[in-house]
Amino acid sequence: MADKNTAKSNGLPKSFMTVGPTLHYSHANVRRCWALAVVVYVAACLFWSKILTGIFLSLSFGDQDLTGTEAWRLGRFIVSPLSIYEYPWQILILGLLMGILAVGPVLVSQLLSFRYSLPMILAVAFIARLPLFGVFLLVSCTAVACRPLRFRSRFIAIALCITPQLVYWALFGGARSVDPIRLGFSFAPWICAWLTALAIAGMVIGIGHFTRYRPGLIWVVTALVLGITVCEFQWKISFAELDYQLYIAGNNPEEVVQFHDHNMTEAIDKAIKKPGTQSFLTGLFYPTEPILLREQLKQEIQIQLGYDRWPNWFEPTEELNFQAKRQQLLGQYNLFINKRPTSKRMPIALYYKAMLNEYSPNIRQFAHTEVLSFYSDHPHRETLPIWYKLYDEFPQSSEALEARWRIAMHLAGQGKFEKASELCELTEAMLSEHLELLEQNQPVGGKFSSAFAPPATTAMTPFKLKDLQRKLQKLIELVNGQNLNESEQSKKALAEFILLNPYSLDYPKQLNRLIAETDEKSPLRDNVLLAKIMLIPDAQLKVEKLKELGEKFANTDGGTQALYELGLLKVALWKDPQTEPGRKETYLADARAILTNFIALYPKSIYSIHAQTMLDSLPAVE
């Protein structure tokens, strides 16, 4: 007491930064428990990095632009990789985890001293890769260690000093480009984080009040909350589902820009004008006249695309470099397939992998339009092992329906028509069940419930299943015997016709060869002639040929389809903006008459339902 009175009388200044009550214990024990608290906190940062970036530790910030505001936003973690709108439990998981990150250093700064919180702040900045959040934590830790904020109630001091974290969550926690309801829900994890931080602080300070703030409180409580978070994540979501979202869900080949349509005219012109191209072509056997040179270079592109590559003189842009993108996606797919072989998402991964390998440039269309497009509806033999794997290991999945059709196509191409027909009929029966189940599971609800929808359980949509049903019915119709006779030549011709690639440059030649090899009485002739007619670019000539074929081969599958295609062509001419206004009404009347006649003549045709749907969508003729 005398010493205190002496200090007061001498007017010795008090330090602005103070130390906490925990430092009164054995220094070795304090450091040991502080180290455990740092370890738990680093583990929380590693777990945060894992569930939001897919990797536990990366000391670089990758492709993040640290000069832009997007790098500081927490809202990006709301929708990717695990969207809270698809996985509502992610709200609680993010809240528990962020609560640990928000309050751990603050408790250390209050109960020990400010300098002990610095390693935790660095862990947030570089391991969790939240550098701006680390700055706000630094402010909180500084404030709570200051003497003016050393209230008698330590809990009130904590609650006051985590205000910077609240400001950070309010400014950077909302999701972007979402509707107002989802925007409101996007702050739910950070509200949960605030409550978690207060709960952790209340437990530590409340127990510490009766245990005289022993050193082990912080790491025990934070470890307990972290353990609950990890178990909750694995139970409700799982790391396998995280890998699915990282490597598969966002890599649907249909949504990859490299496999969309691209007009190549400008790219070819730029490539020809580049000095590097001109110097490369100098001395080679290329014409010097610009028009001839362009045509020859275009033909070279066609040839090289047939081998799935670009010519040496052509440097594709990122959007055109589909070969590199294909290899990147295959790497992602294989990573998931090898890492998660028992995942319930394996059928989707195998389906995407197979479809990606099926994507090929439509060279014949490029030759006519200079538009690079891709097709995937013609099965390639090289992809068959993947389809068989999907069919063998996951036979009841919706994705296996696609595999069954492609396998049946190859069986038919080998002349095994009975096996192909049996497989298609069984697949069609299964498809109806899958389609009914999928349509029943379409999300419905009010405004608030519509903000949340579970992730799709299959890559197949009702539209895909209906299109697959049409292809199955078409194959069954081809191989059911109507297009066959007893001769081996007939079987061989049908097998060849089924496997013809309609997108290849030599497709017209192959059709001409089949026409030459079949006589007028061949049961396959109507289908081959129809395939040739569908290649005619002139719409009016195609109308005449389809009408002629439909009349000549009435009641055959080829003649039936010809009449259906004639109706669709009339509808297309009616919708064409280049059609003269005076002829639109004529085309509409013709379309309605043809489709009505088709439904009356062939009510059991595989196209009758589609014809009726099209007819119902057309307006009445005035």
pLDDT tens, 453-469? Answer: 889 899 999 999 999 99
pTM exceeds cut of 0.85: yes
CA distance 39 to 34: 9
456 three-class SS = coil
CA distance 209 to 90: 33
541 three-class SS = helix
Residue 383: closest CA among 303, 431, 426, 326: 326
Q: What is the pLDDT of residue 449?
A: 60
Q: What is the pLDDT of residue 231?
A: 96
Residue 84 reports pLDDT greater than 90:
yes
Q: What is the pLDDT of residue 214?
A: 78
Q: Which residues contact 459 (CB under 8 A, 6 or more apart)?
A: 252, 347, 348, 351, 352, 398, 399
Ranges assigned E (strand) in 201-304:
262-263
Q: What is the pLDDT of residue 402?
A: 96
Quick one: average pLDDT of 154-182? 89
Single-letter code of the amino acid located at 378: H
Q: What is the pLDDT of residue 6?
A: 42
DSSP 216: T
Residue 324: closest CA among 308, 302, 335, 348: 308
CA distance 166 to 191: 9
**pLDDT-based confidence at residue 620 (cuts at 50, 70, 90):** confident
List of long-range contacts for 580-587, beta carbons under 8 Å, 24+ apart: 585/621, 585/622
**pLDDT-based confidence at residue 73 (cuts at 50, 70, 90):** confident
90-111: per-residue pLDDT in tens?
999 999 999 999 999 999 988 8
Average pLDDT, the chain: 88
Measured from the Cβ of residue 320, the count of other Cβ atoms closer than 10 Å reads 18
Tokens 């709301």, located at residue: 78
DSSP 371: E
How many separate helices (H) and strands (E) can be counted in the chain?
Answer: 29, 4
Q: Which residues contact 589 (CB under 8 A, 6 or more apart)?
A: 621
Residue 151 reports pLDDT greater than 70:
no
CA distance 261 to 491: 37
Quick one: average pLDDT of 253-259? 94
DSSP assignment of 347-364, as one string? Answer: HHHHHHHHHHHH-EE-HH
Residue 5 reports pLDDT greater than 60:
no
Q: What is the pLDDT of residue 16?
A: 56
Residue 403: closest CA among 457, 329, 459, 477: 459
Q: Give 9 or 394, the one with higher predicted confidence.
A: 394
State both tokens at 511.
């059709």
State both tokens at 251.
């890599």
374 three-class SS = strand
Measured from the Cβ of residue 484, the count of other Cβ atoms closer than 10 Å reads 16
Quick one: average pLDDT of 57-75? 62
Q: What is the pLDDT of residue 22?
A: 62
1: Cα within 13 Å, side-chain hemisphere: 0
Mean pLDDT check: name the lowest of 248-262, 276-290, 392-406, 541-555: 276-290
Q: What is the pLDDT of residue 15?
A: 59
Residue 381, H or E segment: none
36 in Cβ contact with 216 (< 8 Å)? yes
CA distance 106 to 100: 10
219-249: per-residue pLDDT in tens?
999 999 999 999 999 999 999 999 999 999 9
Q: What is the pLDDT of residue 391?
A: 96
**pLDDT-based confidence at residue 1 (cuts at 50, 70, 90):** very low
55 in Cβ contact with 62 (< 8 Å)? no
Q: Give 481 or 369, the one with higher predicted confidence.
A: 369
Residue 3 reports pLDDT greater than 50:
no
568-609: per-residue pLDDT in tens?
999 999 998 888 888 888 899 999 999 999 999 999 898 999
